[in-house]
Amino acid sequence: MRPVNCNFCGSSSANLLYMVRDLQLGLPGEFTLVKCENCGLLFLNPQPTWEELQTYYPEWYDSFLREYPSLIQRYGILRRCRVVSKYQQGGRLLDVGCSTGIFLNEMRRSGDWDIYGVEPVAFPARIARERFGLRVFQQTLIEAKLPENYFDVVTWWDALEHTPNPKECLQETYRILKPGGWVFIQTPDPNSWEAKLFGPYWRGFEAPRHLHLFPVPTLTNQLGLLGFRVRSVRNFAGNLSTAFRSLGYWLDSQGLQVIGSFAHILARSVLCRVVIFPIAFLLRHTGQTFSVLYIAQKGPYG
Ligand SMILES: [Zn+2]
């Protein structure tokens, strides 16, 4: 663990927000989540090193999908493909934190795309290569040293919050994008009602894998400072499963594991998601879900 300043603005002034734990996988450790007094960025401080974090990415981490466990997950991936294709039809695409390559594989099938992935964790990078034959660099984006002005699209699906250096990652994204290229960033919103309601039990904090969390004004401002033009910021996903999951974590913490396990079952249940779909749809379209998609462009702007 090492003490850090704010990665966005360099400030050393930050306020304690919560003590947080790995509620999702139940791995040991307690972490301090702080909020920068100057720019509002949330981050773990002190921050675990990459060596320390390795054990928090076991092979059974549920983001390492080997196949679609549910129709809803497939629907989520196809929505990502659709939104990218709305802005760019074909070209060279890089997915950062590509996990097992399910999104890249769908993109390749959906059009004339030359695709690449970056995934620093060995196990999902191997699955992506062996199962789908994808070009995946088992490195961080910075380590991969990709060519300048090379990609039409760079995507960060639920990935930027995992990095220890999001500002440098965004600078590197800008460098490797072609002029007029697009970046898509999906990330949880720590100012969402779910985060405020559940506090340290909110599923989106996901300690210690989420090293940073980005309030919408903070990330929007940072993208602008780095030269991007932000073209769209909106709720993109969200089906209340995280709310049920967070409720389950809270109930567990109160010693109410029996009711808590019911909340966890609801969080996983496809039937439940179908039943509450109209509510989730309404929340998404009124900007009330926890997951935000930023779409930004490197100039010159089309
Ligand atoms: Zn700051």
Tell me, in angstroms, the distance from the centre of ligand 1 to residue 160's CA.
16
List pLDDT tens digits, range 117-148: 999 999 999 999 999 999 999 999 999 999 99
Q: Please give the C-alpha separations between residue 155 and each of 30, 64, 118, 294, in angstroms, as whole numbers.
A: 31, 17, 10, 10
> Against a cut of 0.75, is the pTM above it?
yes
* Selected residue with higher pLDDT from 259 and 159: 159
Instruction: List pLDDT tens digits, range 93-107.
Output: 999 999 999 999 999
| Number of C-beta neighbours around residue 235 at 10 A | 18
Helix axes 216-225, 166-176, angle to 10 degrees: 50
Q: Are strands 136-137 and 113-118 parallel, antiparallel or unpaired?
A: parallel
Q: How far is the CA of 17 from the centre of ligand 1 (A)?
A: 14
124 C-alpha to center of ligand 1: Å? Answer: 32
Average model confidence (pLDDT) across the chain: 92
Q: Which long-range contacts (CB under 8 A, 24 or more apart) does 229-234 make?
A: 229/296, 229/297, 229/299, 229/301, 230/294, 230/295, 230/296, 231/295, 231/296, 231/297, 232/293, 232/294, 232/295, 233/292, 233/293, 233/294, 233/295, 234/287, 234/292, 234/293
Measured in Å, residue 12 CA sits from the centre of ligand 1 at 8
Ion ligand 1 nearby residues (CB, 5 A)? 6, 8-9, 11, 36, 38-39, 41
Over the stretch 6-43, which tens digit does the pLDDT of each residue have? 999 999 999 999 999 999 999 999 999 999 999 999 99
Which pLDDT tens digit goes with each residue over 173-186? 999 999 999 999 99
Q: Give residue 113 CA to ligand 1 midpoint distance, Å.
A: 37
Distance 48 CA to ligand 1 centre (A): 19
Lookup result for tokens 């926890």: 290
